[in-house]
Amino acid sequence: MTSDRPPTAKHASLSFPLPHILLVTLNRPRELNCINSQGHAELDAIWRWMDENPALRVGVLTGAGKAFCAGADLKEWLSTTTTTTTNTTPQTHKPKDTPTTPPTGFGGLSRRTGKKPIILAVNGLCLGGGSEMAVNADLVIASERAYFGFPEVARGVVAWAGALPRLVRTVGRQRALEMVLTGRKVSAAEALRWGLVNEVVPMDAEGEPERDVVHRALEVAGRIAANSPDAVMVSRAGVNLGWEGTGADEATVKLMEDWMDKLNAGENIKEGLRAFVEKRHPKWLDSKL
């Protein structure tokens, strides 16, 4: 049985601004919301808790201050690398593990499969691990002032958290290589053209957002949460089968084998069909899938 109380988090704050929606805010603004090992563990626990909490249907992630996420905590990463120097041999580096991430990847997102959708509200710079989360997020709503990038090559490190093979599926090989080999920052407008984000929230004449990016992400989350939670999860699973490289026919068969009986046995499919016939809005139940 999942606890109604969310996991404790030191580096993020949690709120519930709308029914069935969890808002998580990275809360290290002085560090541009870079994520350390403790932060990764906290976020992984939060997303797992959300997936198992029947009352929650959609998650939204944003950052406090002017940054969304500047990536990994490089000071911590440096501390995981030992350097040995002798009088007769050149300096050698023996890399240990990168700052510890869970199997679900950077921020518990960059390699996450999960059950429920997560929307990123990218309010500012989104670099390194921040962009790794964006590549594997379900939807990305970005401020016009946001920008994305993989500057790892300029620091001698690599984006290990799952974005490299996934990025090419979203933006294409040449664009992916341009991003990861040059480290160039990509504007929100360019990311929109490339398909890396769903929507860009514009600025007004004074350079302020016309509509806060979190507000817009919550609007989209609300539209998702208004649908059958069962159908949302199963539809998402079907898309993700293709995302992970399964052939279309094979994925369709697997989706039906894994989910059709469970969906048909639930109350929400009956409620949705009944509400259509009766010309009323459906009253969804918390999902038991």
Tell me the catalytic residues.
72, 129, 132, 152
* Burial label, 7 (beta-carbon count in 10 A; 0-12, 13-18, 19+): middle
* Structure token pair of residue 3: 């606890």
The full DSSP string for 87-102 is SSS--EEEE--SS---
> Nearest-CA neighbor of 106 among 69, 157, 59?
69
- Under 8 Å between Cβ of 202 and 192: no
Q: How far is CA 219 from CA 22, 44, 289, in A?
A: 13, 24, 25
* Burial label, 194 (beta-carbon count in 10 A; 0-12, 13-18, 19+): middle
Question: Could you give the CA distance from residue 5 to residue 49 in angstroms, rounded to a whole number?
Answer: 9
